[in-house]
Amino acid sequence: MKQLNIAVGIIRNTERQIFITRRASDAHMGDKWEFPGGKIEQGESPEQALVRELSEEVGIEASRYALYRKLEHSFPDRHVTLWFYLVDAWQGEPWGKEGQPGEWIPQHALKIDAFPPANVQVIEQLLAE
Q: CA-CA distance, 40 to 66, in Å (whole number)?
A: 17
119 carries a ligand binding annotation:
yes
35 carries a ligand binding annotation:
yes
98 carries a ligand binding annotation:
no
34 carries a ligand binding annotation:
yes
Bind-site residues for Mg(2+)? 37, 57
Bind-site residues? 23, 28, 34-37, 57, 119
Bind-site residues for 8-oxo-dGTP? 23, 28, 34-37, 119
